[in-house]
Amino acid sequence: MTVSADIFRRHNGELWMEDVALSAVAERFDTPCYVYSRAALESVWRRYDRAFGARRHRVHYAVKANGNLAVLDTLARLGSGFDIVSGGELARVVAAGGEPAKVVFSGVGKSAAEMRAALAADIGVFNLESASEMERLNRIAGESGRRARIAIRVNPDVDAKTHPYISTGLNENKFGVPMTEALALYRRAAALPNLHIIGVACHIGSQLTDLTPFADAMARVMALVKELKTAGIEVEHVDAGGGLGIRYREEEPPAIEDYVAVLCKAIPEPYEICIEPGRSICGSAGVLLSRVEYLKETPTRRFAICDAAMTELIRPALYEAWHEVQAVGTEAAAEPELVYDLVGPVCESADFLASGRKLRLREESLIAIMSAGAYGQVMASNYNARPRPPEIMVDGAVMHLVRPREDLQDLYASERLLPKAQ
Ligand SMILES: *Cc1c(COP(=O)(O)O)cnc(C)c1O
């Protein structure tokens, strides 16, 4: 899916987001910076919600894709639930006004402290991923005087055909419980006094551009649901996870409506269908704005050295991900179109944003790295003592600064010198 054409458009050759020129964002907040479109976030979330029609469903936005409070606030106002993978993400959801009752807690390594916090907040459901985790949650729920609602995340062993680093549904991955062990684990859960089984969950990977793995996974999950029923264990919901891809380059990800139709077909009434989309909600809604510092030629390559780096967008370095790069303005329109490697100032050869791109550039050109709304800022680091950039939410003609740029002092404000004379 792609964000509707009216979110990004060109006015007199200049790139705009909604009713704001991206050059105006750079002028006001400097570069690098992340810019998100509220309208884009809302339109994708609503498409998911509407696609279910009358089917009982819940959309839990996966916070790890972009956890900025304004993003969470935008979605919470639409009634979204949230998929979290840490106590930190729970705190963000609560701070943004999200409802704990609509929170799903995923992840293979929930700590005791995180479980306590989630029980105290009375979250909707824990998606459990191992026998040990189940025993721990039962014990902590007992100590907290609560009964934890749980689902077990099973691993349906389907090949999501995505990058190996973002594939999670194969038996070789660390995620989920093997199908062959699921029934025994559910039996154990049913016998534990402080757990209340309400669902079954799976999540097979990210950036999926084909519906077949989803359909295959759901078929296996429904076979388990049947087995459970025979064993006297009833679930209320089936959580299909997230993972629907977006268009970065030439991918043709399925339409949201087609994806939802596959789920509705695979998961019959009366089960409630839960989903946990992350990237597909916020990925195309954001850009990373950067300025070209220097153009530099070596005997074999032509570099555009930008003020953004792997510290702001690690996806190219980590997964060799491809992000479209667009010139924001027209100042370099008369320059020859040349092939550039776009790199950052960080002292690593892996520090690249894009390679082999035909662009018209000048020093100080403003560029937009597209589809940077998901797994961008959340994976940012302070490596090389680089302050993390600001985040701006565009809403119509208004720019909201939703996180200011870090100061240099912020980077070491909590560090300590050694005591004097030692
Ligand atoms: C990462 C993750 C998601 C979101 O994945 P996207 O590809 O961003 O949609 C959903 N559920 C779980 C359990 C995850 O780990």
What does the pLDDT average to over 151-157?
Answer: 95
* pLDDT(112) > 60: yes
Q: Which residue shows structure tokens 């030439």? A: 250
Domain 106-277 top-level CATH class = alpha beta
Percent of the chain with pLDDT over 90: 93
Measure 375 CA to ligand 1 centroid, in angstroms.
11
- 162 pLDDT band (50/70/90 cuts)? confident
CA of 206 to the centre of ligand 1 (A): 6
Mean pLDDT of 389-412: 98
Q: Is the CB of 64 under 6 A from ligand 1?
A: yes
The pLDDT, as a whole number, for residue 415 is 97
Upstream peptide bond of 32 is cis (omega within 30 degrees of 0): yes
What amino acid positions are annotated as catalytic residues? Answer: 347
83 lines ligand 1 (CB under 6 A): yes
Using the atom order of ligand 1, give the atom closest to the CA of residue 205.
7
Average pLDDT, integer, range 27-54: 98
Q: What is the pLDDT of residue 406?
A: 98
What is the C-alpha separation between 276 and 279, in angstroms, rounded?
A: 10
User: Does the pLDDT value for residue 2 go beyond 50?
Assistant: no
Strands (DSSP E) contained in 322-410 are 325-327, 338-343, 352-359, 366-369, 391-395, 398-403
Contact 175, 276 (CB under 8 A): no
End-to-end CA distance of the chain: 61
Predicted pLDDT of residue 47:
98
| Rounded CA separation 101/151 (Å) | 15
Q: What is the mean pLDDT of the chain?
A: 95
- What distance in angstroms lies between residue 235's CA and the mean position of ligand 1's atoms? 22
Whether the CB-CB separation of 332 and 291 falls below 8 Å is answered with: no
Give the whole-number percent of the chain exceeding pLDDT 70. Answer: 97
Residues 253-280: what's their mean pLDDT? 98
Hey, where are the domains in the chain? Answer: 8-36+283-412, 106-277
Pick the CATH number of 8-36+283-412 from 3.40.1360.10, 2.40.37.10, 1.20.1630.10, 1.10.3470.10: 2.40.37.10
pLDDT in tens, 338-358: 999 999 999 998 999 999 999
Span 299-319, pLDDT tens digits:
999 999 999 999 999 999 999
Q: What is the mean pLDDT of residues 222-238?
A: 98
Q: What's the average model confidence in pLDDT over 46-65?
A: 98
Distance from residue 329's CA to the centre of ligand 1 (Å) = 35
Report whether the peptide linkage leading into residue 404 is cis, meaning its omega lies within 30 degrees of zero.
Answer: no
Question: Which ranges constitute the DSSP H helices of 52-101?
Answer: 69-77, 87-95
- The angle that helices 87-95 and 112-121 make with each other, rounded to 10 degrees, is 30
Res 165: pLDDT: 67
pLDDT for position 1: 43
How far, in Å, CA of 307 to CA of 291, rounded?
Answer: 6
CB 169 near ligand 1, within 6 Å: no
pLDDT band at 46 (very low <50, low <70, confident <90, very high): very high
Whether the CB of 205 sits within 6 Å of ligand 1: no
CA distance 323 to 370: 6
Whether 5 has a pLDDT exceeding 90, the answer reads no
> Which of 45, 58, 64, 80 gets mutated to test ligand 1 (max ligand atoms within 8 A of its CB)?
64
Pairing mode, if any, of strands 125-128 and 103-105? parallel
Confidence check: pLDDT of 26 > 70: yes
**What is the per-residue pLDDT across 196-222, written as a single tens digit (0 to 9) for each?**
999 999 999 999 999 999 999 999 999
Query: Is the pTM above the cut of 0.85?
Result: yes
The minimum-distance atom of ligand 1 relative to the CA of 106 is: 13
CA distance 19 to 10: 11
